[in-house]
Copies of this chain bind each other. A is one copy, B any other.
Amino acid sequence: MALERNRILIETINRLIRRGATDRLKKIIGKVHEADLPPVFRSLSAASQHKLFYLIDDPEKKGYVLSELDEDIAADIIEDLSVAQLVEILEEMPSDDSTALIKILPPETADTVLNIMRKKGAEDLEGLLRYEEDTAGSIMTTDFIALKPEMTARDVIETLQSEKEYHDIEMPFYIYVIDDEGRLVGISSLRQLVVVSPSTPLRNFMSTDVISVSTDMDQEEVARIVARYNFLAVPVVDETRRMVGIITVDDIIDVIREEATEDILKMAGVGEEFVETKSIVRSTRIRLPWLFVSFLGGVVAVFIIGRFEENLQQGLAYLAAFIPVIMGMGGNIGIQSSTIVVRGIATGRINIHHLWAVVSKELAVGVILGIFYGLFLGAIAHLFFRVDKTTALAFSVGIGVLSSMAVAALVGSFMPMMFARLRIDPAVATGPFVTSAIDILSILIYFQVAFLLLGL
């Protein structure tokens, strides 16, 4: 229902842009929910996105759209904004989104903007900017509710009603309790607040068993904690346990999505390609190294086959015809095994200490499938290749497929387990090494078996 509404919105806006109906566009953009705008933007060309952005009036909406767009498009748009416009937008953004935006500004612009914002007494954005990327500090927001333990439920409710700064808070569900030094000592919730009697002090209805994260914790770990405990937000503390921010579940959803995407891309050796989707040069540079490893593997295969060249010439050239299928079957089951293992490690379903259990299961699957396809390919060779030693040929290709698939399942599961134990990211390392190892081993075993059986 909501998505259907969205499709209609996208179509309408596309039509109005083609017609250049600026006034109607402005009216519609003013009315739609901010969350519906990013999909509209993504459906447009870069030029139209620019145009549409200037039709947004509300700086808060502008900020939201900028924070949701692809980095390269956002960077494009803000290039054309004046410093005054930028400041106006940044002031309306939650601190986690505004720091992200400042990071993609040209350095001089960022400095000017920060100076103006500091003079205006805005929050400590510079403090936030110092956290390293992908840490808890870099994704937290500094807008949260932290109160003293001696306040009563009635005091808390009055504070929520009167303090204007609390009205903008993104996720006002938890109430954090801090001591005089700002250290996190307890946590309560709006839920508790409405069920206790008004005179109860926070101290009496807060929980002191607070799970918090530190500013330098990796965002993936933060996501795991929030997901595991079903939190709506998790507090962030500095080295002295002073509370400095919170990370809300909506940002965790983004982290989980991002990390899944990264893992998928890394396995194909295109790790950071989503960062700047438009640049061909950059895409090329990102893909080059991964391809290089498998290129080297391929070159090794060239020399292996070259070594058997004379035999190939001696009337057995048809052996070459089976190279692609034998390599391909090994490559494919190798990808299957390594995918299962890499994803299993990432989701915690495979324990990296259960090495032999995992590898032997994969090997068993490889052998079963290898026997099946080996018999199949052997039969094809026997039926269609009427040469001197057709039975020997059939056995050779059959054993070739079997050994290639068995080795591939073994290597494909063993390598990511080993990489993980050596603390090398299995998603990055597995791809090229597994492919190359399988290519080389498949060819080697196939030719050795063939020349043995064919008596060359």
List chain A positions with a Cβ less than 8 A from chain B: 1-3, 33, 35-36, 38-39, 42-43, 70, 157, 160-161, 170-173, 190-191, 193-195, 211-214, 217, 221, 224-230, 232, 249-250, 252-254, 256-257, 260-261, 263-265, 267-270, 273-274, 277-278, 280, 283-284, 287-288, 290-291, 294-295, 297-299, 301-306, 309, 312-313, 315, 317-318, 320-329, 331-333, 335-336, 339-340, 343-344, 347-349, 351, 353, 361, 364-365, 368-369, 372-373, 376-377, 380, 384-385, 435, 439, 443
Contact = CB atoms under 8 A, between A and B. Distances in A.
Main secondary structure of the interface of A (DSSP, over half): helix
B35 A228 contact: yes
B317 A302 contact: no
A60 to B, nearest CB: 14
A325 B39 CA distance: 41
Given A323-B323, A369-B288, A249 B257 contact: no
A351 B368 CA distance: 41
A324 B301 CA distance: 7
5 contacts: A42-B349, A171-B232, A277-B349, A312-B317, A313-B317
B229 A35 contact: yes
B348 A39 contact: yes
Contacts of A368: 280, 284
Contacts of A315: 313
A337 to B, nearest CB: 9
B261 A347 contact: yes
A371 B373 CA distance: 36
